[in-house]
Amino acid sequence: MTIHPPERIWWKPISGAERVYIAAALLFSLITFFLMPIWHFLGAQNPTMQTYRVDKAEYLQRVMAWADRYKVGELAGVPVVEPPPGGEVYLLARTFQWFPVLKLRAGQTYRVHVSSSDLVHGFSLQPLNMNFMVVPGYEYILYVTPTQKGEFGILCNEFCGLGHHLMVGKLIVD
Amino acid sequence: MTPTPVPDRTDRVPFGQTLLDDFFLLLALGLLIPFLSYLVWGLLDLGSVPVLPPVDQLVAGG
Q: Which string of DSSP letters, residue by residue, matches A7-70? A: PS-------HHHHHHHHHHHHHHHHHHHHHHHHHHHT-SS---EEEE--HHHHHHHHHHHHHHH
B4 touches chain A (CB under 8 A): yes
**Cβ–Cβ under 8 Å, residues A142 and A116:** no
Looking at residue A128, its pLDDT comes to 84
- Residue A88's φ and ψ, nearest 5 degrees, are -80, 145
A103 in a structural domain? yes
A138 touches chain B (CB under 8 A): yes
Contacts of B9 in chain A (CB under 8 A): 8
Looking at residue B58, its pLDDT comes to 73
Looking at residue B20, its pLDDT comes to 92
A84 or B59: whose pLDDT is higher? A84
Across the A/B interface, how many CB contacts are shorter than 8 Å? 46
- Residue A70 CB neighbours (<10 A): 19
Looking at residue A130, its pLDDT comes to 86
pLDDT above 50: residue B62: no
Query: What's the domain count of chain A?
Result: 1
A90/A109 Cα distance (integer angstroms): 14
Answer whether the bond into residue B23 is a cis peptide, omega within 30°. no
A29 in a structural domain? no
A5 in a structural domain? no
A4 in a structural domain? no
Of A10, A49, A88, the CB nearest to B55: A88
A154 in a structural domain? yes
Task: Assess: ipTM above 0.85.
Answer: no
pLDDT, tens only, B6-57: 555 567 899 999 999 999 999 999 999 999 999 999 999 999 999 998 877 7
A21 in a structural domain? no
Best CA proximity match to A104, nearest among A139, A150, A69, A61: A150
pLDDT, tens only, A99-149: 999 999 999 999 999 999 999 999 999 888 788 999 999 999 999 999 999
A90/A115 Cα distance (integer angstroms): 8
A68 in a structural domain? yes
A131 in a structural domain? yes
A31 or A6: whose pLDDT is higher? A31
Looking at residue A19, its pLDDT comes to 95
- Residue A170's φ and ψ, nearest 5 degrees, are -140, 140
Average pLDDT over residues A39-51: 83
Looking at residue B4, its pLDDT comes to 57
| pLDDT confidence bin for B1, thresholds 50/70/90 | low
- Residue A123's φ and ψ, nearest 5 degrees, are -90, 125
Looking at residue A70, its pLDDT comes to 96
CATH number, domain containing residue A56: 2.60.40.420
CB within 8 Å of A170: residues ≥ 6 apart: A75, A98, A101, A102, A151, A152, A153, A154
pLDDT mean across residues, chain A:
93
Best CA proximity match to A119, nearest among A96, A90, A100, A91: A96
B7/A70 Cα distance (integer angstroms): 85
Instruction: Domain of residue A85: give its range.
Output: 50-173
Using the beta-carbon criterion (under 8 Å), do A1 and B1 form an inter-chain contact?
A: yes
- pTM, entire model: 0.79
A120 touches chain B (CB under 8 A): no
A4/A62 Cα distance (integer angstroms): 78
